[in-house]
Structure 1
């Protein structure tokens, strides 16, 4: 158990604790009060998932989760319905996803036996106790989905999964289903239901989807004498899964990879050198991902290019100096000068190392915490890489270097683009940014890759903390930035949250819908037209 006793003064007068300990639940949809007018183009459903609370009162005192990625998951649903005024009414409901797990915590049961992302353990546990917990076959009963804390990303009607369900993923090989309207958890499974060879314990929280076919792409990572990455595709029409390539053998290290790239014809899996110690055995010992990782700045990142439309498997490998990334942005390809090759361009949010993982402990990001603030530590860069000369037929030779084309500092995190520009060359990227006003995020940014300028939205000095922005095209296709951004924002002074709609071109606020309580900042979301 871990007790948290934060100081009382908010960091730089910017309170944000409401989004980290948001305990309210709204199971029956309620209409929110709207200011301005939500354009009819954003009609549909916005889903948000991620941690809403991290502390629980127990019969023995208090239990607290240590890391933001381990906070107790809740799903939020905003239904935007066109009305006669030419705008949209906004209805909101939410549901916790781990009631049984929370109940165990309230009863002071040990819920930290399972592997977590970054939960700090009792340092007094004996050597025998650690070994015993490492190798006992312990874990929640899969007939009880509310024991599984799965909720980094969420997707309606995920290929290969039950129809008319909301499916949540995380960095482990776990998949959780909830009802699309009530948000009630109804089941949990893993990738082995897609293909028997997808048995490794690690996967990617961010599957990629072909925007034309809806097909899903992801990887599964298994441990052993070396890492084994199986890159696979699941058809949206047949639900059939095929393994497109297997990357394994001596020199293949198992790494923590939160997202990857998809171009028109290729999958690009960059293995940056944030490796699991002991070829993955360290997870069993440490019992959490964060403690099991070590960044190797002397080791180059390896870029593996996989043919996703033919049968060539892996067709090229590139290297670059070491870096770390949580979130890739987009990839696109252009024909080479001789017509027999293609050049692939990959945009990512790049960190110099994986220390950002450790800065996301609650003691750092909450404004009343005691550790140095995230806002004081700078922001990652947006970097565009070029992978040149990939053959259209056969396979490339050697391991040439990936070239850095563009670097834009202070680019923020949780990037999004106009979804119509997926696998196309895009100019604009939208992100949440930290400009030093807050211990966490304090605004939204529109990054222009041509001018390298960033246009901001925020309400400083008012302490309003936004979450990830979701881009909704306006249907005109007049320009890349023709559309709207939806973000859930905390008003730190009032302690309540609101859904804001911005014009993606001007970054000006168009409308907002007020909620009566704080909504957890969460991690990711999706806008669904259905």
Structure 2
């Protein structure tokens, strides 16, 4: 059972009587404050020297725009207007750390278009359309452009992940970058759109697609979470092209040469186009898992529905398909497996076990019984002042579970699918993170955001022990503090897998302000925080770069 390490509740009072269970969180989804010049945050406690470096974060900020027609708002959290954040943790001569914060909205041109017209016609993730639209108007919208002009990065709402110096994308970096470590920031989503920003000012500078890496990567869908070889830095991802026979192209981009090669192609009438947010990488293999969140009409339904979510349907009677692919590109698909249907956003880790020459692959993943979670992440279900008696985050159909699968004897090439073995499954949270030094190795712990039912969203950070199948949580109940994704930073000792720290942006719902918290990853206790005088949007994903990287 979970147990908590809680600090004393905040004493600040606020008007939270309209919030679900007196846990206000609206400020975390409505903040559009930006600081284009660094400001110093007030540090309470301490930030250890081991976390010095730069933390970048990406994700939705505000979702509402005042317009000439009365106002426009985004319906789904994944469609909120993107904003980048940069936390610079600097060690002082006295051994303490200062924290400088910079942020910048990424889609001012898109916001201005919504303000001017009261609408946005581009295809989105889950924007709800007017139910009174006529048949002929819907048909007409199919023939409108599906994406913003490629030369206007401020129109590309790419707010899921962010990475510095992405292989193949250094050419989009600004010429005036002063930081020798960071040439360019690249922001990714599940559509084949990439936006690039200045690593210091966070100003959007360019937009591109995967076709800039390889001409055959022209499909409209991809994965927001590429995998990276922990030694070489090489990037692995896929591109999905629609049609009567879907085509998945799995590719590799070299960090050393920027050259991209397609290492495997899946194109079969039995392999349907699906919404895939992540996949797995081991020392020798790409493990490509296709859960049955299928696009209707071979993907053509996106043009009709004008959003990704309404164009999908979950097929509970279908099998989840697992493809083990040779990373070298010489053998393609080596073996196939199936398991009962599930839906997932995030893979956690994967590694190989060798038993007398027989190689098994172990895959850890956060999964759901279906894709209801996608419908429960509309703003109406997340905001504490909008949700009903049963917010989506606490419904069992939206409850995330950590599962481990074993794919036995993958090294012998086979064509007929076998069954993937589920080793265990336990209720946990999502947005998982591990010690990066344990990528492709057996990892005992992962860290995630957790909902214990106190709020309409999440209310704690969990440490999941996959050996004992227990979870320890850090939270501040009864004080309504809402955390975001936790990022793990090793302490450099290699003493233990959990020897390190967690960084997370947390909203204080009572004061309506946010802070960057630093937790001891072993004990799940707070050791420091850097306080901001306004709310910082929770966002989706971030990446920390140590000052020596």
* TM bin (shorter chain): over 0.9
Structure 1: where are the runs of 5+ without partners? Answer: 1-6
The answer to whether the 8 Å contact 1:47/1:527 transfers is yes
The answer to whether the 8 Å contact 2:472/2:524 transfers is yes
CA distance in 2, matches of 1:528, 1:499: 16
Matched, 1:68 2:68: no
The match for 1:4 is none
CA distance in 1, matches of 2:308, 2:393: 24
CA distance in 1, matches of 2:320, 2:329: 26
Deviations 1:405-436 (A, max 9, x none): 11112x11100000000000000010000000
CA distance in 2, matches of 1:494, 1:137: 43
Shift of 1:110: 2.9
What are the within-5 Å matches in structure 2 for residues 248-397 of structure 1?
A: 248-309=267-328, 311-337=330-356, 339=357, 341-371=358-388, 372-378=390-396, 379-391=399-411, 395-397=413-415
Match of 2:65 among 56, 78, 81: 56
Report how many aligned residue pairs link the two structures: 518
The answer to whether the 8 Å contact 2:61/2:80 transfers is yes
What are the within-5 Å matches in structure 2 for residues 125-140 of structure 1?
A: 125-140=133-148
The match for 1:434 is 451
CA distance in 2, matches of 1:335, 1:123: 56
Taking structure 2 as the reference length, the TM-score comes to 0.93
Deviations 1:73-120 (A, max 9, x none): 000100000012212100001000000111111113431x11100000
Structure 2: where are the runs of 5+ without partners? Answer: 1-15, 174-182
CA distance in 2, matches of 1:347, 1:467: 21
Shift of 1:61: 1.3
CA distance in 1, matches of 2:123, 2:214: 24
Deviations 1:45-76 (A, max 9, x none): 00111001111111221211000000000001
Match of 2:434 among 417, 431, 434: 417
The match for 2:155 is 147
The worse-fitting range, judged by mean Cα deviation, of 175-184 and 395-404 is: 395-404
Q: Secondary structure at the match of 2:495?
A: coil
The answer to whether the 8 Å contact 2:387/2:456 transfers is no
CA distance in 2, matches of 1:462, 1:319: 44
The answer to whether the 8 Å contact 1:467/1:522 transfers is yes
CA distance in 1, matches of 2:50, 2:460: 24
What are the within-5 Å matches in structure 2 for residues 181-260 of structure 1?
A: 181-260=200-279
> For residues 190 and 403 of structure 1, do their structure 2 counterparts lie closer, same or farther at Cα, with a shift above 3 Å needed?
same
The answer to whether the 8 Å contact 1:44/1:81 transfers is yes
Match of 1:513 among 530, 535, 538: 530
The match for 1:406 is 424
Q: Secondary structure at the match of 1:74?
A: strand
The match for 1:3 is none
Q: Secondary structure at the match of 2:56?
A: strand
Q: Secondary structure at the match of 1:202?
A: coil
The match for 2:97 is 88
Q: Secondary structure at the match of 1:61?
A: coil
The match for 2:481 is 464
The match for 1:161 is 169
CA distance in 1, matches of 2:227, 2:146: 31
CA distance in 2, matches of 1:200, 1:242: 16
The answer to whether the 8 Å contact 1:336/1:389 transfers is no
Shift of 1:138: 4.8
The answer to whether the 8 Å contact 1:8/1:368 transfers is no
Shift of 1:491: 0.1
Shift of 1:319: 0.2
The worse-fitting range, judged by mean Cα deviation, of 305-314 and 511-520 is: 305-314
Deviations 1:427-456 (A, max 9, x none): 001000000000001000000011111011
The worse-fitting range, judged by mean Cα deviation, of 101-110 and 25-34 is: 101-110
The answer to whether the 8 Å contact 2:122/2:145 transfers is no
CA distance in 1, matches of 2:78, 2:270: 29
CA distance in 1, matches of 2:329, 2:354: 17
> For residues 62 and 109 of structure 1, do their structure 2 counterparts lie closer, same or farther at Cα, with a shift above 3 Å needed?
closer
CA distance in 2, matches of 1:322, 1:496: 41
Shift of 1:310: 5.1
CA distance in 2, matches of 1:244, 1:92: 40
CA distance in 2, matches of 1:503, 1:8: 33
Matched, 1:484 2:501: yes
The match for 2:53 is 44
RMSD of the alignment, in Å? 1.2
> For residues 32 and 275 of structure 1, do their structure 2 counterparts lie closer, same or farther at Cα, with a shift above 3 Å needed?
same
Matched, 1:452 2:469: yes
The answer to whether the 8 Å contact 2:69/2:118 transfers is no
CA distance in 1, matches of 2:122, 2:115: 17
